[in-house]
Amino acid sequence: MADRKVVVTGLGLATALGLELEQNWQKALAGESGVSRIRLRCAGKSQVSAGAQVSDDDWRSICREFPTEAAVEGERRTLFTLWAAKKALADAGLESIAKDRSKFGAVVGAGLGVNRLEDISRWLTVGKKFDSLRFAAELDRVERDSIIRNNSNAPATLIAQKFGLKGMNSTITSACASATLALGAAYRAVKRGQADVVVAGGGDSMINPVGLVFFVLLGSVAVSKMEPERLCRPFDRKRSGLVMGEGAGMAVLEEESHALARGARIYAEVAGFASTMDAWRLTAPHPEGQGAQACMSRALADSGIPPEEIDYINAHGTSTKLNDLAETLAIKNVFGKCASFPPVSSSKSIIGHLLAGSGGPEFAFTVLSVAENKIHPTINLSSPDPKCDLDYVADGAREKVVRAALSNSFGFGGQNATIVVRKYRNIIH
């Protein structure tokens, strides 16, 4: 079995901070919050008042870039991911279609899609029963961004079609760990010689009435009327739940010699990956973080990097009571024998929780930390939880040599994924 080096040659983002990589990165370093009042009809009556939405101007820019897909699909998650993939391929110098892309693939972590109330109420009878016969006869009236028209595999399929990626193609839908699991699958495919280039990451958007109600019922979303930009408070004593975000993050993972042969710029190396399952509860992590601990430990073992050489952790950091504590305990158990714990920060404090897509932008920020020796802050951490007592980079961006870093994604249902990134060292030339 081949054991090849995997490098990152392209990154693309679409978040509440903007549509360009450098724009996102500079705002993240500045600790600028992308969270604002939700822009939905009747949002004033919702228990959930804030979210990290892509701006209306940026959404129009995406639709102008992909007019056919916007007219036919119209689904935000799909178009966010398509935009981020295009940007990542352009960043890698691979946007134009080469003659042979038989070993170019796409792996996307994607959410379930939009459940539209209109697609239920429109076909209710006077007695409030669903008229399935009339629904079947009038299927063309289904909202174009509905889950009925847009399955989870839509982003991966469109990316392959748009950019001629004829190799592996898959979609991973595993709650909040989806995008990092997609990156891990891409890493292993390139490492084993099954692909030369894979565009990987994820996207999601559940800032819609049904999506918001779902998380209210779970009791996991912040419903406080605090100022929106202060609402997401990972590891803070006053944290009250996750703040929804939307968007996408995609990366180009490439085999080293393939990248060098075409003179590609290399950001960093992907050095290891692991996934585990808590097998505990559907809506809560293991209270001692056992699954998260095993995931980080196995990812480090896969990379061959000792814990003392990890200089940064991009935490899952959801701003929920249970997750933040469990992740803190897991980090302590993995790094407890080191002279000091590595600094930790949560991208969700800035861009919200992108759910299935969250690992995409977080991976991009982790790669940039390794490449540029800068760590973005965890904002809004003003009242530290005494049980969450690590170095969460709460006092602004930090300049620090980052030899290697972890990016964690720990999803609902206990699905865990950790990916390891380290500085690139060219040992071929």
List active site positions.
Answer: 176, 316, 353
What is the Cα–Cα distance from 231 to 243, expressed in whole angstroms?
7
Smallest CA-to-CA distance from 270 within 348, 371, 349, 361 is with: 371
The strand pairing partners of 375, in sequence order, are 398
**Segment holding 344, helix H or strand E:** strand 344-345
Torsion of CA 275, 211, 364, 282, to 10 degrees: -20
CB 71, CB 265: distance < 8 Å: no
Joined tokens for residue 315? 């935490």
Query: Max Cα separation, the chain?
Result: 74
Smallest CA-to-CA distance from 314 within 226, 383, 404, 237 is with: 404
CB 206, CB 144: distance < 8 Å: no
The strand pairing partners of 11, in sequence order, are 251
CB 142, CB 75: distance < 8 Å: no
Exposed, middle or buried, 261 (CB in 10 Å: 0-12/13-18/19+)? exposed
CB 379, CB 31: distance < 8 Å: yes
CB 238, CB 228: distance < 8 Å: no
User: Residue 67: how many CA atoms within 13 Å on its side-chain side?
Assistant: 1
DSSP 8-state class, residue 27: H
